[in-house]
């Protein structure tokens, strides 16, 4: 069944409707994504304050959990597996004590060069620590702590560099990749929240160590974690507490342990191992939980279908105040953008490329490195186009924008070629060339 759109005055909106377009450009509103469900009267009031009318999807298209919307671009074509009937939990606005305004102090190009070796060092540190757990030789987390400090420094200087590197780097083991990428997502969000470097160190180390308990599980359970029987899933859930027990004798801080123990808890109490909810979940664990969930959506184990980052962002937005606290979901989206670094996209002129970075003020207009020029020949391959800057003086008809996200593995768009060797196909020297 196709999607029918209908124009509706904002005062006539009802909870459950899907808003697919506005009477003004999305980037001129505070809404972090383009297209969302009306979840409460607060959503209606927010729309009333910015718009006179909106376009909504007709109700019949939302009845099936498996509806595909091929003509609705990017993150609008999100999964229809919504949390219908699940209670929202509203907490007071998040308040960070003495937040730090981390200034970007270096260019993306320079930070990528500086930190190119960092993720390899982090993977090596995790491998050695995991091996020590498997051999019961005792846990030494000093290497992990050292590499975490370097990651925190990098993210504070320039938040897009490690995101770029983590998306374009090959890893030897899924568990290492998952832990590393979760840590990078979490640090970028923690930076957005204004956490100081001490808290960021706890957060990053907790994410890196969050998967250590899986080394004590049967390998067949770990490798099939997305398709487990009820009995095996109960065993799998024990990896969190197993990790805590492994790490306690190592002397890691209580804050790090709280991240390891709480990263699978959920805002509505549906998580594990304890079923904590709301304010009972430590802040750092909440951030780690969002980061870990997002990474599992966009980069699951081999054999599972990955979700495009934009669809994953949309799914997170639908989970606000259900599985994840609203303030943190919005901070996540503000930090990584609707199209995070490393996302493959097609522009509305037919050219294709990869997102290099995003503008917090223009969430839908990221910087894109063109990898495949369009037939129109607007831009040569290898050129980076800052869509926000490019569109500044252009009319609506002339705007260059993302048409859709593309899956990793799209023919001709090999992200690994960007950073797999010392002389990548696409030179870093071309980043920020206009």
For residue 420, pLDDT over 60 is answered with no
pLDDT the model gives residue 23: 86
Q: Are 405 and 74 spatial neighbours (Cβ–Cβ below 8 Å)?
A: yes
Nearest to 363 by CA among 334, 321, 397, 405: 334
pLDDT the model gives residue 124: 93
For residue 69, pLDDT over 70 is answered with no
For residue 74, pLDDT over 70 is answered with no
For residue 384, pLDDT over 70 is answered with yes
User: What is the pTM for the complete model shown?
Assistant: 0.83
pLDDT the model gives residue 86: 63
For residue 104, pLDDT over 60 is answered with yes
- Residue predicted with more confidence, 275 or 71: 275
pLDDT the model gives residue 3: 62
pLDDT the model gives residue 27: 67
pLDDT the model gives residue 432: 40
Nearest to 290 by CA among 193, 215, 430: 193
Which of 47-61, 183-197, 321-335 shows the lowest per-residue confidence on average (mean pLDDT)? 47-61
Structure tokens, 171: 């890893």
For residue 305, pLDDT over 60 is answered with yes
Which of 42-46, 211-215, 234-238 shows the lowest per-residue confidence on average (mean pLDDT)? 42-46
For residue 229, pLDDT over 60 is answered with yes
For residue 431, pLDDT over 50 is answered with no
The phi, psi pair for 16, rounded to 5°, reads 105, -20
Which of 106-110, 232-236, 239-243, 414-418 shows the lowest per-residue confidence on average (mean pLDDT)? 414-418
- Residue predicted with more confidence, 126 or 139: 126
For residue 291, pLDDT over 90 is answered with yes
pLDDT the model gives residue 378: 64
pLDDT the model gives residue 297: 93
For residue 228, pLDDT over 60 is answered with yes
Which of 211-215, 364-368, 370-374, 423-427 ranks highest by mean pLDDT? 211-215
Which of 335-349, 355-369, 419-433 ranks highest by mean pLDDT? 335-349
For residue 77, pLDDT over 60 is answered with no
pLDDT the model gives residue 387: 92
């Amino acid at each position: 069944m196709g999607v029918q759109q209908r124009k509706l005055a904002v005062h006539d909106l009802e909870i459950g409707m899907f808003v697919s377009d506005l009477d003004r450009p999305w980037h001129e509103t505070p809404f972090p994504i383009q297209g969302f469900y009306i979840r409460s009267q607060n959503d209606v009031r927010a729309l009333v304050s910015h718009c006179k009318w909106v376009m909504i999807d007709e109700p019949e298209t939302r009845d099936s959990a498996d509806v595909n919307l091929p003509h609705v671009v990017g993150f609008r074509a999100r999964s229809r597996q919504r949390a219908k009937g699940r209670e929202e939990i509203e907490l007071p606005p998040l308040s960070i004590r003495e937040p730090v305004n981390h200034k970007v102090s270096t260019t993306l190009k320079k930070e990528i060069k500086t930190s190119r070796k960092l993720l390899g060092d982090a993977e090596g540190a995790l491998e050695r620590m995991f091996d020590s757990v498997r051999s019961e030789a005792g846990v030494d987390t000093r290497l992990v702590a050292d590499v975490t400090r370097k990651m925190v420094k990098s993210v504070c200087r320039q938040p897009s560099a490690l995101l770029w590197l983590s998306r374009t780097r090959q890893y030897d083991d899924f568990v290492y990749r998952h832990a590393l990428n979760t840590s990078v997502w979490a640090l970028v969000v923690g930076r957005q929240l204004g956490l100081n470097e001490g808290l960021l160190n706890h957060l990053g180390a907790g994410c890196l160590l969050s998967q250590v308990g899986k080394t004590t599980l049967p390998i067949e359970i770990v490798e099939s974690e997305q398709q487990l029987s009820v009995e095996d899933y109960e065993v799998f859930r024990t990896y969190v507490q197993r990790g805590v027990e492994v790490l306690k004798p190592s002397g890691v801080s209580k804050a790090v342990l709280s991240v390891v123990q709480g990263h699978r808890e959920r805002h509505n109490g549906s998580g594990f191992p304890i079923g904590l909810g709301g304010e009972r979940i430590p802040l750092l664990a909440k951030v780690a939980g969002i980061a870990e969930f997002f990474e599992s959506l966009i980069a699951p184990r081999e054999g599972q279908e990955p979700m495009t980052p934009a669809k994953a962002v949309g799914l997170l937005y639908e989970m606000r105040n259900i599985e994840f606290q609203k303030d943190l979901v919005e901070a996540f989206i503000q930090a990584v953008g609707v199209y995070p670094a490393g996302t493959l996209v097609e522009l509305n002129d037919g050219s294709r490329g990869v997102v290099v970075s995003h503008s917090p003020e223009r969430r839908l207009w990221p910087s894109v490195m063109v990898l495949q020029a369009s037939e129109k020949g607007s831009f040569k391959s290898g050129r980076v186009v800052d869509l926000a800057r490019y569109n500044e003086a252009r009319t609506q008809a002339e705007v260059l924008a993302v048409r859709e996200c593309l899956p990793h593995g799209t023919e001709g768009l090999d992200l690994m070629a960007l950073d797999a060797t010392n002389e990548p196909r696409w030179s870093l020297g071309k980043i920020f060339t206009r």
